[in-house]
Structure 1
Amino acid sequence: MIGRKKELAVLQRMAGSRRFEFLVMYGRRRVGKTTILQEFAKGQPVIFFPAQEKNDALNLQDFSQSLQEYFADAFLAPFPDWERAFAYFGKQAASRPEKTILIIDEFPFLAAQNASIKSILQHAIDHAWQQQNIMLVLCGSSVSFMVNDVMGYKSPLYGRITGQMEVLPFDYFDSASFFPHYSEEERLLAYGILGGIPRYLNAFDEQESIEQNLAHQVLPESTFLNDEPQMLLRMELREPVVYNSILEAIATGANKVQMIADRIHEPAGKCSKYLSVLQNIRLVRKIVPCGEARTSKKGIYILTDFYYTFWYRYVFSKRSFYALLGEEETAKRIMAGIADYMGPVFEQVCCSYLLRMAKLGALPFLPAHIGKWWGTNPVLRQQDDVDVLALDESGTRGLFCECKYQSRPMPMEEYEDLLTAAMAFPQVKKRWYVFFSRSGYTQPVRERAQREGAVLLQIPDLYSLDSTAWRNDEK
């Protein structure tokens, strides 16, 4: 199993306690929740019940069979109702010295067919399970349902939960484990195209190049990856047409509500409502300039999943044109211009790298804020940006980063641009300058960085996590 050590550690800790435990696990589809639970279940006796999109009676029958085969090694008949099924589980658990673990995967499927099941569970917990050595795990892919209807304060289960876990996609570093034979640059490209969803990463064949994988695993209509974004939208949403338009608009550069509305010819108010839904299912995120309040009017929208960004930019928006070209020629054209696509990806990867280095204690200070900054530079009296900015809690110490995914060594002009952009922050008294470049640096840049203590990094450094490249000299 790749990664997920922290998630498994949480599950093991709760399983090892001597009291009632109730964990709510959630995360978007394909992120690997079931795989984590299955791996956890290998180490101890667990009742693992995967709910399905069936009616209530059939799910109750399946659940009854799971309980009876676990406790009695035989299935006699379904329980007449969920109350009786949960009472049977509690009675059997009470007679056992070890912790009894019940996992219900895709719990929203049960609740969709029986709205009272949360109240039935709450009654079982309050009147029996809370005093027993039981561990209950409810897992679901409907993030909004799990957050609002299971953990929300209006839920009957509110106050009974002892732990919650959102399973997130892998970052660039963990995603590299799927491609042990690729070079660091190929790993970065694969991550930039597929994102951190394990199911997507598994779809690429490491024996083929990135271009060949595009031609064979993404572009043909018969492949899993080709239809995945549309299938997920159909599963999550009732009106995918407008959502498709919004996602395409964001993927192709429209990042504010009015820009999106103008692009898709819909009212801005309607777009805002649809964007809220897309945020709830973790496909869209609103970001603000680093260091500013979440309510900042400068906020913009980005797609959280790189594969959706790639798919809506290249596959969805140009499907008919690419159909005429054919998969091989299309893959070649995409790869010829991939640097433009990878620029914003590279910035986010560099930000993830800094977060990892901060956790290792390698940075000169602990960042309280980290991300991209954009706004007015009073020195230039015009709009400016910093690819990645990290500030400490007081706002007086800062890391200023330039990220260049280009096919040529970074020239002195880029070095100067970062120093100029940093002038927009006169309150930052102690500054460190960090440069990330795909293709290295010109000799003048290397010499100046040596004199001034700037950090120069390339793609292999992102994967080595070597702290010796960092200097804590205050410049």
Structure 2
Amino acid sequence: MIRKFVDRKRELEILEELYNRGANLIVVYGRRRVGKTTLLRKFLKDKRGIYFLCSQRGYEKDLERFSEAVSEFLGMPVKFDSFEDAFRFLAKHGKLVVVIDEFPYLIEAYRPIVSVFQEIVDLIIKDSQVTLILSGSSVGMMERKVLSYKAPLYGRARGIMKLKPFRFFDMMEWYGRDFEKLVRLYGVTWGVPRYMELLNDGSDKEIIANFFEPTAFLFNEARLLLMEELRNPTTYAQIIEAIALGKTRLTEIAQYAMMEAKDLPAYLRVLQELGIVKREVPVTKKVSKRGIYTIEDEYFRFYYRFVSPHYEDIEGLNPEPAIEDFRKNFNTYLGTTFEKVAKEFLIMLSGKGYLPSRYHRFGRWWHKGEEIDLIALNERERKALFVEVKWKELSEREARGILRDLKRKAELVGLDSWEHYYGIVAKDVGGKEGLREEGFLVFDLGDFPHYR
């Protein structure tokens, strides 16, 4: 199912601004399948430009292919002995954009290429009308070899864009306003466009067909992504699986992954840099030894919760244990997905002025067995919003019970001199108008379209 180009308006505007200001170098990167190539081709659509996709066939072959791309663009045969010669030639041909996609392939084929492009940017196209865009899907390599302090191209890019998956509310343009369906789809795709193309209604049947069939694209995708990005993918996979199964502290993760706890932080830092894992501390603590690890990327969280533990069974054409696990536990799994959705929703409301304050920090809080799903803080005004998030339909009586307990837990947080507000975000809340009249902030899926 191929859909239209969706909601990259801001990204296109940024590229246009940089282009109009005469930027010589722009870097665009992000995880695979996130839509970089589609974005760049859309940007090139009304411009004089060359799009070149690097291969894994070696430096000489890519140089030959780049010569062919320039020949096709200009309508005349040219052949270059180096990329420096190619850009000396292009610098004489007026205003144009040159996109080199999957630049990390070229780095792997010829390590000095980054220094070559430093010379191209510093000396060859500096005073020209050429805008060079380097793009890549290997997040680690782009950050280490192109953007880091020690990289030859450090500080030369006029614009750096890390393209991310669509946010929950961006997905409305793709799937419509059935928000219960959207939560299910968000919980398995994380807003990654390539995965969204494969799913339409988020039904159990559709998810099973795309994840629990050995020939399905999404069945092996997570493993392939780790193999492309990391040197020791098996260890990283065990760490992700441990967290996805609810083991959030260092000792628990290390025990599951069968490794020393002292060796674990280095692996977790890499996973954090890739945006797969997130370290969380209570929102009231900027630094804390009580940090826990969670899976940030919902596609990886779903895969390593429901697919990876049953991988051998599924591959051996015995998917029934995996499917049973999925049917039994998917709704519970979506509780965490909905907490992320609720956080995005409240951040949006805060930015638009719909909440009692414009809050600057949002996050969870926990201490000695007590937990609050979401607290929003405005430290300057000393205002705090305490919110419970429930992926279920609540009666008015249930909602009042949750709010009473929320008030009790709020007294344990240590914000006694602050102004307190209390709320609920749930799938559905009975009697919500009456609760609002009493000063509570109560939202459910039915409210989502009104505040978008």
TM-score range, shorter chain: over 0.9
Q: CA deviation at 1:330?
A: 5.4
Instruction: Identify which of 149, 168, 171 aligns with 2:167.
Output: 171
Aligned to 1:399: 385
Aligned to 2:353: 361
Aligned to 2:45: 42
1:131 to 1:324, Cα distance in 2 relative to 1, 3 A: closer
Q: Is the 8 A contact 1:395 1:428 kept in 2?
A: no
Instruction: Identify which of 255, 259, 272 aligns with 1:266.
Output: 259
Q: Is the 8 A contact 1:2 1:177 kept in 2?
A: yes
Partners in 1 of 2:37 and 2:45 — Cα distance?
A: 12
Gaps of 5+ in 2: none
Q: CA deviation at 1:333?
A: 5.4
Q: CA deviation at 1:320?
A: 4.8
Is residue 200 from structure 1 mapped to residue 195 from structure 2 by the alignment? yes
Q: CA deviation at 1:281?
A: 2.1
Q: CA deviation at 1:336?
A: 3.9
Percentage of matched positions with identical amino acids: 31
Instruction: Identify which of 371, 382, 392 aligns with 1:385.
Output: 371
Partners in 1 of 2:71 and 2:317 — Cα distance?
A: 58
Partner SS for 1:149: helix
Aligned to 1:82: 83
Letter in 2 for 1:27: G
Q: Is the 8 A contact 1:350 1:462 kept in 2?
A: no
Letter in 1 for 2:448: L
Instruction: Identify which of 418, 421, 424 aligns with 1:432.
Output: 421
Aligned to 2:337: 345
Letter in 1 for 2:388: E
Deviation per CA, 1:281-304: give whole Å up to 9, x if none.
Answer: 2221212221322x4212211112
Q: CA deviation at 1:344?
A: 1.2
Q: Over aligned residue pairs, what C-alpha RMSD do you find?
A: 2.2
Q: Is the 8 A contact 2:84 2:124 kept in 1?
A: no
Aligned length: 445
1:5 to 1:426, Cα distance in 2 relative to 1, 3 A: same
Aligned to 1:151: 147
Letter in 2 for 1:227: N
Aligned to 2:19: 15
Is residue 128 from structure 1 mapped to residue 114 from structure 2 by the alignment? no
Q: Is the 8 A contact 1:390 1:399 kept in 2?
A: yes
Aligned to 2:71: 68
1:109 to 1:333, Cα distance in 2 relative to 1, 3 A: closer
Instruction: Identify which of 135, 141, 147 aligns with 2:137.
Output: 141
Partners in 1 of 2:205 and 2:252 — Cα distance?
A: 35
Q: CA deviation at 1:332?
A: 6.3
1:111 to 1:319, Cα distance in 2 relative to 1, 3 A: closer
Instruction: Identify which of 51, 56, 61 aligns with 1:53.
Output: 56
Partners in 1 of 2:119 and 2:132 — Cα distance?
A: 14
1:202 to 1:464, Cα distance in 2 relative to 1, 3 A: farther
Q: CA deviation at 1:178?
A: 2.6
Q: CA deviation at 1:263?
A: 1.8
Instruction: Identify which of 243, 246, 259 aligns with 1:250.
Output: 243
Letter in 2 for 1:384: E
Partner SS for 1:387: strand
User: Which of 134-143 and 270-279 deviates more?
Assistant: 270-279
Is residue 465 from structure 1 mapped to residue 451 from structure 2 by the alignment? yes
Partners in 1 of 2:288 and 2:78 — Cα distance?
A: 61
Aligned to 1:455: 441
Q: CA deviation at 1:264?
A: 2.1
1:296 to 1:395, Cα distance in 2 relative to 1, 3 A: farther
Q: Any residues of structure 2 matched to 1:215-234 within 5 Å, and which?
A: 215-234=208-227
Partners in 2 of 1:414 and 1:321 — Cα distance?
A: 41
Aligned to 2:408: 420
Partners in 1 of 2:86 and 2:299 — Cα distance?
A: 42
Aligned to 2:307: 315
Aligned to 2:98: 102
Deviation per CA, 1:20-55: give whole Å up to 9, x if none.
Answer: 432111111111111110111112121111111121
Aligned to 2:10: 6
Letter in 1 for 2:76: A
Partners in 2 of 1:416 and 1:313 — Cα distance?
A: 33
Q: List 4+ stretches of structure 1 deviating above 4 A.
A: 320-333
Partner SS for 2:372: strand
1:163 to 1:130, Cα distance in 2 relative to 1, 3 A: same
Letter in 2 for 1:343: G
Is residue 189 from structure 1 mapped to residue 184 from structure 2 by the alignment? yes
1:108 to 1:414, Cα distance in 2 relative to 1, 3 A: same
Q: CA deviation at 1:321?
A: 5.4
1:428 to 1:250, Cα distance in 2 relative to 1, 3 A: farther
Partner SS for 2:92: helix
Q: CA deviation at 1:338?
A: 2.2
Partners in 1 of 2:262 and 2:427 — Cα distance?
A: 41
Partners in 1 of 2:117 and 2:321 — Cα distance?
A: 56
Partners in 1 of 2:31 and 2:331 — Cα distance?
A: 28
1:446 to 1:324, Cα distance in 2 relative to 1, 3 A: farther
Partners in 2 of 1:313 and 1:126 — Cα distance?
A: 48
User: Which of 115-124 and 248-257 deviates more?
Assistant: 115-124
Partners in 1 of 2:314 and 2:393 — Cα distance?
A: 26
TM-score norm. by structure 2 comes to 0.92
